[in-house]
Amino acid sequence: MTKALPQGSTIGILGGGQLGRMLSVAASRLGFKTHIFEPGANPPAAHVADTVTTAPYSDLNALKGFAKSVDVVTFEFENVPADALDAIESIRPVLPNRNALATSQDRIVEKDFLTGLGLKVAPYANVETADDLKTAVETVGAPSILKTRRFGYDGKGQSRLKTNDDAVNAWGELGETPSVLEGFIDFSHEVSVIGARSQSGEVVCFDPGENVHRDGILHTTTLPANLKSSQRMDAVILTGQILNALDYVGVMGVELFVTPTGLIVNEIAPRVHNSGHWTQNGCVIDQFEQHIRAVAGWPLGDGKRHSNVVMTNLIGDEVLDVEALSTDASVGLHLYGKAEAKAGRKMGHMNKLTGPAS
């Protein structure tokens, strides 16, 4: 695709969760229509989209019908099955490209790619069999984390090894699925960069945010992050390097561990990212608009931050504080319209502005 999509064009989005919902709102602000493809009934994005197809990703006819009705397809999650991509790509472009998806879907492929770029990752070893596990324990050792190669999120599909003796249990806990043993990094804190690349190869990064997790789920992202200017520069440059190497189009989240010997890449997410939600109130153009601009072939916004911000996820019952939160003039409230506030479910988030950008 070389020409910018005109207003009135339709953006297809695979996945109808909160990320699909916020992408849909951003698309609509730019005069686009959206069509959501989502297997589950009544997804959050359905409330703000023009069209919704409810079908599983194995329904290739439904995917083809969806593709024909849109001008370009993007996604809100990285585990889009390869067959589904084939069906869509025979009809319409999918952005970001499938190489980016394939790279981030598998932790070993991802780490090989990152180290190939000269970036630092945790020491790691591939574990596909009980024998691999023995070798991995000899090379990586403990403390370490065994993570499934695929389908992990919010700390799921992971088991920690305090000593080498924990290896066999961890392997059983993960169901003896192909995994990676990762050396435990003694980091001082975690940051992430939300970067974007346009179809013409222009790269724009938002300021790195500092992330705190609770029970394996992102709790807060704080801007500015506690980083020296050299570290901030490093974080942004390495994100640009990743985006360029993948010939990427769209927004990506890059999670980093901060250590005394430099930044270590934890993982990349080929999509808008929870740790980029602060941009909705901290920047004129947020990550969702930036992503829509990129996939629509538009120029990117400059991504400048105008305020200091703390983003806090509202998980489960926390969303019931809405009345109190909505009277605070410094808080931008973002609720996802989910019916049931189940424990551990992301129901919304708030961005508290804490002063002018510093």
290 is an interface residue for ligand AMP by CB under 6 A = no
Q: Based on CB atoms, which residue is closest to ligand AMP, 161 or 300?
A: 161
The residues in 183-212 that bind ligand AMP, with binding defined as CB under 6 A, are: 184-185, 190
Q: State the DSSP string of 267-295.
A: EEESS--GGGTTHHHHBSS-HHHHHHHHH
78 near ligand AMP, judged by CB under 6 A = no
Distances (CA, A) of 342 to 324, 339, 345: 20, 9, 6
Structure tokens at 180: 């990676």
119 vs 285 by CB, closer to ligand AMP: 119
* 11 near ligand AMP, judged by CB under 6 A: no
Question: Closest distance between ligand AMP and the C-beta of residue 218, in Å?
Answer: 8
Part in contact with ligand AMP (CB under 6 A); list of ranges 31-39, 64-72, 89-97, 180-188: 180-188
8 Å CB contact between 257 and 329: no
Residues pairing with 214 in the sheet: 217
Which residue is it, tokens 């992102």?
Answer: 218
**Footprint of ligand AMP on 243-262 (CB under 6 A):** 255
18 close to 39: Cβ distance less than 8 angstroms: no
With binding defined as CB under 6 A, does residue 155 bind ligand AMP? yes
Binding residue for ligand AMP (CB under 6 A) from 145, 193, 225, 314?
145
Does residue 301 touch ligand AMP according to CB under 6 A? Answer: no
Sign of CA dihedral 278, 303, 193, 76: positive
Lookup: tokens for 65: 């019908």
Query: Dihedral sign, CA of 20, 313, 335, 195?
Result: negative
Q: Smallest gap, in angstroms, from Cβ of residue 150 to ligand AMP?
A: 12
**Sole binder of ligand AMP in the list 29, 213, 219, 342 (CB under 6 A):** 213
C-alpha atoms less than 13 angstroms from C-alpha of 170 in its C-beta half-sphere: 30
Separate counts of helices (H) and strands (E) for the chain:
11, 17
In the complex with ligand AMP, the residue whose CB is nearer, 101 or 256, is 256
| 148 forms part of the interface with ligand AMP (CB under 6 A) | no
x-or-dash string of contact with ligand AMP, 104-123, rule CB under 6 A: ------------------x-
Residue 155 CB, nearest approach to ligand AMP (Å): 4
Q: Does 152 bind ligand AMP (CB under 6 A)?
A: yes
Phi, psi of 82 (to 5 degrees): -60, -40
**Which of 266, 275, 279, 308 lies at the binding interface for ligand AMP (CB under 6 A)?**
266
Q: How far apart are CA 254 and CA 242, in angstroms?
A: 9
Residues 6 or more apart from 344 whose CB is under 8 A from it? 215, 217, 315, 316
| Residue window 28-47: x/- pattern of binding to ligand AMP, with contact defined by CB under 6 A | --------------------
Q: Which residues bind ligand AMP (CB under 6 A)?
A: 122, 145, 152, 155, 182, 184-185, 190, 213, 255, 266-267
